[in-house]
Amino acid sequence: MVAPPDPPMSLLLELTHRCPLQCPYCSNPLKLERAADELSTADWLSVLDQAAALGVLQVHFSGGEPMARADLPDLVRHAAKLGLYTNLITSAVLLNERTLGALAESGLDHVQISFQGSDAAGADRIGNYAGGHAKKLAAAALVRASGLALTLNFVVHRHNIARVPDMIAMGEAFGAGRIEIANVQYYGWGLLNRAALLPTRAALDECTDTVLSARARLRGRMLIDYVVPDYYAAEPKGCMGGWARRFINISPAGRALPCHAAETLPGFDWPDVRTHSLADIWYASEPFVRYRGTGWMPEPCRSCDRREQDWGGCRCQAFALTGDASRTDPACHLSPDHAMMAEAAQAASAPAPPFAYRRIGQRGV
């Protein structure tokens, strides 16, 4: 008999897939939702009510660009009233004194601004949005002045990994409480652009040294969260803290998912929040139960001492690389498919191909 799962901790709302930027590693699916298919304000308010009752503690407003939704301050206000910790994950190119003021007044707790690099030319090339970097710098200064907690998120790849020291310096200069040095995760758009983005192992090792020494230097002042690419790992990450163990993601059209990449997996009937309660989705829906815990695991996971630390790694990566979502994540050195990671990493030493930028309708899927 399997014990019932704990209540979910976090809820990520992808309010929209609309975004002014076109980053080639976007975590949204290749098949982007159109504005006409987005949930209504009333739908989102109901999701927030149900989430709080279910035991969710933190809600992340994300996208696309969540500030493209005019009702964002209303949603934040509702979440804050319910006692939820409210986090805005934004590109910040739509953030100005007025829009930030409305969010702060609504009770927003924390703002995370994504940066595509530390220099305007390189960053704007990644976002394919001229002037974006300058807007982000202005936005970060506004957030800092507002007194809201600020995180700077830097997505790292072969074109900017040598500039990680500058990124850390930017975090310090803004007085950010926290920065993320997050290597691209290779799903969806990132996987499509892997040969253009994956750094070499030598470049990653240098980045790791930089981060570890900065962490020691900045201890107690600025947190540095660091994410490495799975391609150079010996053990898989405990993706999402385990399938449907802590986290719920809601797509713009209202599909509930155990992670933001799960729609890449075939053969699932994802529950719709307009027709299913969040409690039913969490405790009883087939997609949430399918890979929860350890009962589904094949060998070598099933008998592994780490099975309740990494939970078999990432289902989306297992599917993307092997075609079978129920296999051990190839990132694990014990996986029979592990050699694929080293083979893929060879592309990092070849000249980088051009980007396939993230655009709605771009992939025709």
Would you count residue 219 as binding other proteins (CB under 8 A)?
yes
Would you count residue 293 as binding other proteins (CB under 8 A)?
no
Would you count residue 223 as binding other proteins (CB under 8 A)?
yes
Half-sphere exposure of 344 (CA within 13 A, CB side): 24
The answer to whether the CB of 148 falls within 8 A of the CB of 188 is: no
- In the complex, what is the shortest distance from the CB of residue 221 to other proteins, in angstroms, rounded to a whole number? 9
> By CB under 8 A, which span of 176-184, 247-255, 288-296, 315-323 interacts with other proteins?
176-184
Q: Which of 5, 7, 122, 298 binds other proteins (CB under 8 A)?
A: 7
Rounded Cα gap, residues 83 and 19, in angstroms: 28
The residues in 84-123 that bind other proteins, with binding defined as CB under 8 A, are: 85, 87, 109-110, 112
- In the complex, what is the shortest distance from the CB of residue 219 to other proteins, in angstroms, rounded to a whole number? 6
Q: Which of 4, 147, 266, 267 binds other proteins (CB under 8 A)?
A: 147
Rounded Cα gap, residues 318 and 343, in angstroms: 16
Rounded Cα gap, residues 194 and 68, in angstroms: 28
Would you count residue 9 as binding other proteins (CB under 8 A)?
yes
Q: Which of 27, 28, 58, 116 binds other proteins (CB under 8 A)?
A: 58
Name the strands in the sheet holding 85-90, side by side, starting at the edge strand that comes first in the sequence: 223-227, 178-183, 149-156, 110-115, 85-90, 58-62, 10-14, 247-250, 256-257
Give the number of other CB atoms < 10 A from CB of residue 269.
Answer: 9
Rounded Cα gap, residues 351 and 19, in angstroms: 29
Q: Which of 4, 220, 267, 351 binds other proteins (CB under 8 A)?
A: 220
The residue written with tokens 């699932």 in the block is: 268
The answer to whether the CB of 285 falls within 8 A of the CB of 256 is: yes
> By CB under 8 A, which span of 31-39, 53-61, 71-79, 133-141 interacts with other proteins?
53-61
How many residues sit in the footprint of other proteins (CB under 8 A)?
Answer: 25
Give the nearer residue to other proteins in terms of CB position, either 176 or 207. 176
User: Could you list the residues that contact other proteins (CB under 8 A)?
Assistant: 7, 9-10, 53-55, 57-58, 83, 85, 87, 109-110, 112, 147-149, 151, 177-178, 180, 219-220, 223, 225
